[in-house]
Chain A
Amino acid sequence: MKTREFKRTQVITNLICIFFTVCAMLPFILLIAASFTDNDWATAYGFTFLPGKLSLDAYRYIATRWSTIGHAYLMTIVVTAVGTSASLFLSVLFAYGISRQDIPGMKIVSFLLIFTMLFNGGLVATYYCYTKIWHIKDTLWALIVPGFLMNAFNVILFRNYFVNSIPASLLEAARIDGAGEFRILAGIVLPLSKPILASVGLMTGLGYWNDWQNGLYYLTARGGSRYYTIQIVLNNISDDVRALAAAATSQSSVLSGSVKMPSTTIRMAIAVIGILPILVIYPFFQRYFVRGITLGGVKE
């Protein structure tokens, strides 16, 4: 009786999970299959899971245009690395500061942080301030500063971790030994906070890697194209696939015209190249992602 119920439960629950897993995977399989499809075949028969004719033309074309794609890749990596480090730096300092609610004024500082989760000026006012006052348009700052640099959520995660998981006696002992607060933070608190640093760092890094909105708002085709990241390039060629050819001709006119663009499959190939790093590193960092979600999802 018991085992029969156990078996039945296993069958049903596995079927449910398999259904959702397959649904999660199918679009990726279609995208990858489409990117390896022969361009003429795809134009005639469309994108399918089992293309009738395979080809590497789309990837070959990207290789000839590597100056554009490669540069965009480099920008993505720079923005992600600089942005994530700066973000962790600001957030950790701020969180350690407000972890001391006994210090006069820190309650107000915490309130100023929390209030940003409740109310914001909206896109129009934000856009106005960043362009009109800070002149961020068509600069590298545009990809790093607006929105992502520090958010209340991450700061609160750090603060809670510092308060709940780091023994206060340890910090007191260091203070008695005459260590300054900055040394305590760098030498004692941070080494004990590696798990949360990894989780928040990965989530922040993912945010920068995937961001296309700052580019959409603050970079213009004329002045900002040298800061285009891979997501922004993807966004541009989603509107018009010729953007890629145009961008490439302006940079390396030698190659233009020599290779015909596989205009149907090229989009799919670039999208594959854009998600490849995430697909590759994700399995290794999966547990940090999951921890990041469970930490952030339910309030402390």
Chain B
Amino acid sequence: MTAARKRSRIRRAWPFYLMVLPGLLYLLINNYMPMFGIIIAFKKMNYSKGIFGSDWAGLSNFRFLFGTKDAWSITRNTIGYNVVFFLVGTVLAITLAISMNEIASKKASKAYQTLILLPYLMSWVVIGYLVFAFLSAENGFFNKTLLPMFGLKSVSWYQDRTWWPLILVIVNTWKNIGYSMIIYYSSIVGISTDYYEAAQIDGATKWKQIRYITLPLLKPTVITLFILSVGQVFRSDFGLFYQVTKNSGPLYPVTRTIDVYVYQALMKNADYAMSGAASVYQSICGFVLIVAANAVVRKYQSSSALF
């Protein structure tokens, strides 16, 4: 390549470099600097001395974290809820999407979709209030109206952990089902009508069409969403576990996830050792899982791989 051509190529390229520059700076500030900040977990952190001024601690923070009972319970809660959320959410969303697709009245189906998506647009703070209206010990709909109707005793919902696994699954599904329903619905709408017409000629019932056409053709979408959630299995929706439970201590054994633990250790106890170790543990496990999940999919169904 001659020098003149090279120069003209650079001249044509520089506006593009200029365009990505602000974004790169933001990635540096918001993402890459914190990535290097994970060394906090390997330090005996002293906030006033800063990261580099603090002494090294080796792996002692991690040894300390995994020496507690909490480490097991927050890991179990984080992964357990994610698994149940995925199973329940997928089954219900597909059921709903298939039903939605069968509805003949376009107006009705539009109205259903609009209303079912509404909870997805709400913040977890607001959802915390919505749940509180049902569960408040003194004024809640459950304690004051529903339970007395059946002659049942009041429950101190925010103190009694019995029902929380169920409550969290219901609330999370309630908020997110509209979102997953729309994803599945748009996949179903994309299925060619030829398949169904051919099946009808062969006399297949509606149920058989769903069983042998719709469900198999939804498989790639399910797989894509599955890998995405495998990669996220060490993450939890902080808002769900913090706002909806009102961060109530007695519920912790069944409601505290890694994110809530990190928040609590960092903000309430200013404990950099524990929160840093838990935070890094979460990041590294998540990274390994997402890369592994993608590698598996790449091998068996490369079209669904993410990268």
Residues of A near any B CB (own CB < 8 A): 5-6, 9-10, 12-14, 16-18, 20-21, 23-25, 27-28, 30-31, 34, 42-43, 45-49, 90-91, 93-94, 96-98, 100, 103-106, 109, 112-114, 116, 118-129, 132-134, 145-147, 149-150, 155, 180-182, 185, 206, 209-213, 216-217, 231, 234-235, 238, 264, 267-268, 271, 274-275, 278-279, 282-283, 286, 289-290, 293-294, 297-299
Contact = CB atoms under 8 A, between A and B. Distances in A.
A282 B138 CA distance: 33
Interface in B1-57: 13, 15-17, 19-20, 22-24, 26-27, 29-38, 40-41, 47, 50-51
Contacts of B114: 282-283, 286
A5 B206 contact: yes
Contact of A21 (B116, B205, B267, B286): B116
A9 B102 contact: yes
B125 A293 contact: no
Contact of B224 (A24, A180, A298): A298
Nearest to B246: A238
B183 interface: yes
B118 A48 contact: no
B240 interface: no
Contacts of A294: 182-183, 186
Interface residues of B, number: 103
Contacts of B20: 93-94, 97-98, 106, 109
Contacts of B32: 112, 116
B112 A125 contact: no
Interface stretch (B63-71, B75-83, B173-181): B173-181
B283 A27 contact: no
A299 B306 contact: yes
A1 B200 CA distance: 13
A45 B272 CA distance: 46
B118 A28 contact: yes
B34 A47 contact: no
B133 interface: yes
Nearest to A211: B123
Given A119-B35, A282-B118, A48 B141 contact: yes
Interface stretch (B93-101, B161-169, B249-257): B93-101
B243 interface: yes
B96 A28 contact: no
Contacts of B113: 290
B283 A121 contact: yes
A121 B186 CA distance: 34
B141 A47 contact: yes
Interface of B: 13, 15-17, 19-20, 22-24, 26-27, 29-38, 40-41, 47, 50-51, 95-96, 98-100, 102-104, 108-109, 111-119, 121-126, 128-134, 136, 138-141, 143-145, 174, 177-180, 182-183, 186-187, 205-206, 221, 224-225, 231, 238-239, 243, 246, 259, 262-263, 266-267, 272, 275-276, 279-280, 282-283, 286-287, 290-291, 306-307
A258 B111 CA distance: 45
Nearest to A132: B50
Contact of A298 (B35, B126, B187, B246): B187
Contact of B144 (A45, A120, A123, A147): A45
B130 A118 contact: no
A90 B26 contact: yes
A109 to B, nearest CB: 5
A11 to B, nearest CB: 11
Contacts of B206: 5, 9
B130 A46 contact: no
